[in-house]
Chain A
Amino acid sequence: MSNETLNWTAVCKVGDILPGTGVCALIDDHHVAIFRLGTDTFYAIDNIDPRTGVSVLSRGLIGNLGEHLVVASPIYKNHFDLRTGACLEAPEHSVRTHRVQVEGDEVLVALS
């Protein structure tokens, strides 16, 4: 899929996301978690934790488990792969991933 066919939304400035944490953006009524790893790597997944139906994944701690870059849901600590959206403990609770890019100072997200 090329960039032209994607619908990019500017959600915030790079500086709005503290390195090593996430924020939640509202895009077309959709809750999206955007994470910043280090200074210049970004990932986006659904913010809603499928196990509980609660909009919290952006508030989880991020890190790695083996090869997986993950966020741990703050409710029951289940882990989601930031690159694939897969829930490591229960695949049926996996989430969608979304595209993120940075243009200048802006963080842009395109829903998948």
Chain B
Amino acid sequence: MKIILVGHGMVGHKFLEELQQHQIPGAEVTVLCEEARTAYDRVHLSEFFSGKTADDLSLVAPGFFAESGFKLRIRSRAAAIDRRARTVTTQDGETLHYDKLVLATGSYPFVPPVKGHDRDQCFVYRTIEDLEAMKAAGAISRKGVVVGGGLLGLECAKALRDLGLETHVVEFAPRLMAVQVDDDGGRILREKIEALGVHVHTSRNTTEITDGMTARHRMVFADGSHLETDMIVFSAGIRPRDELARQNALAVGARGGIAIDDHCRTSDHDIYAIGECAAWRDQTFGLVAPGYDMARITARHLAGQTDAVFSGADMSTKLKLMGVDVASIGDAHGKTTGSRSFRYVDECKQIYKKIVVSADSKRLIGAVLVGNADEYGTLLQLALNGIALPTEPEFLILPASDGKAKPGLGPDALPDSAQICSCNNVSKGQICTAVGDGATTIGELKACTKAGATCGGCVPLVTQIMKAEMVKRGMAVNNHLCEHFPYSRQELYHLIRVGGIKSFEDLLARHGSGLGCDICKPTAASIFASCWNDFVLQGELASLQDSNDYFLGNIQKDGTYSVVPRMPGGEVTPEGLIAVGQVAKTYGLYTKITGGQRVDLFGARVEQLPAIWEELIAAGFESGHAYGKSLRTVKSCVGSTWCRYGVDDSVGLAVELENRYKGLRAPHKIKFGVSGCTRECAEAQGKDVGIIATERGWNLYVCGNGGMKPRHAELIASDLDKAALIRLIDRFLMFYVRTADRLQRTSTWRDNLEGGLDYLKAVLIDDSLALGAELEAQMQHVVDTYQCEWKTAVSTPEVRQRFRTFVNDPQPDARIVFVKERGQIRPARAEERDHATADSMTV
């Protein structure tokens, strides 16, 4: 059976993934993809402006086409269909035969037919190419207008604001998000959006776009007023791409879209249509969830399973627009006969909540939430599952007051069949089963059920269900550090700081049991260092350090250590380089340049370390903390000092930051990068903390990672001056130190942070937990009490004498043997070593 899929967007790709699972014998699948790239995540398109790349947004797993055997044709548009011959002709004139044809052509942005809509610097918001063009235009514009105040229009306004433009939204209707939100909700939404610096113009009908006086364009409105702007983005709705159907006399819906039946078949039963191009009972669906549903149903139908039928879709939505929560459920406007509503308005906090209940007040049929959508999950489940309402449903949206608990809807109240993730059609039952099969983190659940993997709106509910199920199965949500402490690292941190605990003995006596182990000892040592910053090898603290921290070096496979002197910002003088080279030469060490812009010296025996460091300290070097779970390096490009393109002094800032945060002990290592311009030569967006110079200051990115699981850092604040930047980094690092799990890098910490980036911004920038000053003070304490550990170690006799191979003999470990390779030493392999030591070893 030859199957042709026309269109490789989100829904098209979902169809392929489903089809691959069915493994239909003899199926030959060809995909015609009009765009220059394969399917990507259009739901999160705006993240392209906050640092995500086209690759990040891709939905296609590496090797997908090779594995599935599906043939992909990029930049290949289906130009015509011949239903009688059952062929598709591409725009290049190639004709392909099909037995079954699936149309997933999506939709196109509607541009109002106003005069001048096709002028330069007028855009639509649909593809990555559109965004690239907008970005380029944004760089040379001061002012931008979005035409359309709907869901997508507001996303687009955020993008323009992120580009640093004075942003305006022009809406034809009298309120924003007219479809999802009522008048009162629209008013609150407008106030919130305007407070964020976006200008909103409602009830404006654009009649013409002409040359402007103060900017490129002038938009003239029907009421005689006008607005000038440098660029315009049209986001006034979408229209189904049904032209292939119209050309071939396939039935179309009353308001456009290719008409389909419950099996997603068009009026020609060999042709299916799915996603935004399809019309089911004259209705089209501009959300991804119904499209995914159609993709599943079509794949099953092609596999001979006719039981799956499309039965419409819930169009409820919850989203965050520029940090403002907006949600709409079911009959948001109360159009159902006899329905009544409850409303709650808080004009101080700018919150609006409304629920619409059935005539008998037994069922929830709709809701609108603006400014705070915490109840969305509960309300949606009440509406979708027809769960009987409490007798006083108003308490569902009223703020909790003393003595009156909010009637929440615990996971237990939901039936197993309740659909939790509508994007990927995952039920409560499936989540519980996956938990039973061992998925006990939100990341694992996402991977195996796909719940929460698309829009992410259901993640809080999925988390609740997961935790409830774990408790039910006796898998007690155990985040205890180890058998000695029934606390998480975060709890232990709190106990240590609040209790002023400074020794492990005291900690164990007050909060633990047993003797401790190789998990809790270094964790406690790290927390002591973060809180009190005493010398790590002082007294009892020394016995808590693992080998790396005890010998202040990185242990290697042969028991020798590597030595890394700090070179802040990767800057080193010729004298410094010569001194490092001289030390390496004197002690016969292997030298290698690290990824963090410094030099690593390998092959030092324990007893050599103090002498090596004495020489390095004399040459002006300090410990590089390469052995610690602490700040490693601040990588930088040469910046404006040397580079033709640099816009600020990245090296200077890198040196300053490295000197500020050196020695800070944390749950895991921390890496920084500072780039002097957007070319990003320091790869700052792959670091825990990344800083990029802009014309107006510094952009701060956080929680990036390279290594095993690369993650792009996310923009948390733009155009900061240096003082603001340092204050924000202080808060970020200390908040991470306080709350992360043991050995959790900032990227994983961020992925597991409930509330995500918005929460992090609220805590760090808006100071929602009123922690800012405390975090800054704690960081200042660490900065003020910094000492070079190696300097202290070599000058403290009782510490220095611990650097010995044998307690009773000054000779070195004869088992450490090196051979030469490419002009330097390397550890001998076992057979080489046995040969070399055969004479000296007698036991």
Contacts and interface: CB of A to CB of B under 8 A. Distances in A.
Contacts, number: 99
Contacts of A27: 808
A45 interface: no
A63 B515 contact: yes
Interface string A4-48: 000000011000111111011111111100100100000000001
Given A19-B543, A21-B542, A29-B843, A61 B518 contact: yes
A55 to B, nearest CB: 5
A62 B542 CA distance: 12
Contacts of A56: 547, 555, 559
Interface in B534-557: 540, 542-544, 546-548, 550-551, 555, 557
Contact of A54 (B548, B559, B841): B559
A81 B559 CA distance: 21
A48 to B, nearest CB: 8
A65 interface: yes
B813 A55 contact: yes
A6 B349 CA distance: 82
Interface stretch (B385-393, B665-673, B799-807): B799-807
* Dominant secondary structure of chain A at its interface with chain B: strand
Nearest to B550: A59
A69 B710 CA distance: 39
A72 interface: yes
B153 interface: no
A60 B547 contact: yes
Contact of B808 (A12, A53, A64, A74): A12
A74 B551 CA distance: 12
A29 B841 contact: yes
A85 B548 CA distance: 24
Given A37-B515, A60-B518, A61-B518, A24 B807 contact: yes
Contacts of B830: 53
* Dominant secondary structure of chain B at its interface with chain A: loop
Nearest to A34: B807
Interface size class of B (residues with CB under 8 A): 35 or more
A63 B514 contact: yes
Nearest to A109: B808
Contact of B517 (A17, A34, A61): A61
Nearest to B814: A29
A61 B521 contact: yes
A11 B546 contact: no
A98 to B, nearest CB: 13
B514 A59 contact: no
A70 B546 CA distance: 14
Contacts of A79: 518
Contacts of A90: none
A66 interface: yes
Contacts of B544: 20, 61
B558 interface: yes
Contacts of A34: 807
A79 B515 CA distance: 15
Given A16-B807, A25-B806, A63-B518, A74 B558 contact: no
Interface of B: 483-484, 514-518, 520-522, 540, 542-544, 546-548, 550-551, 555, 557-559, 802, 804-809, 811, 813, 815, 830, 833, 841-843
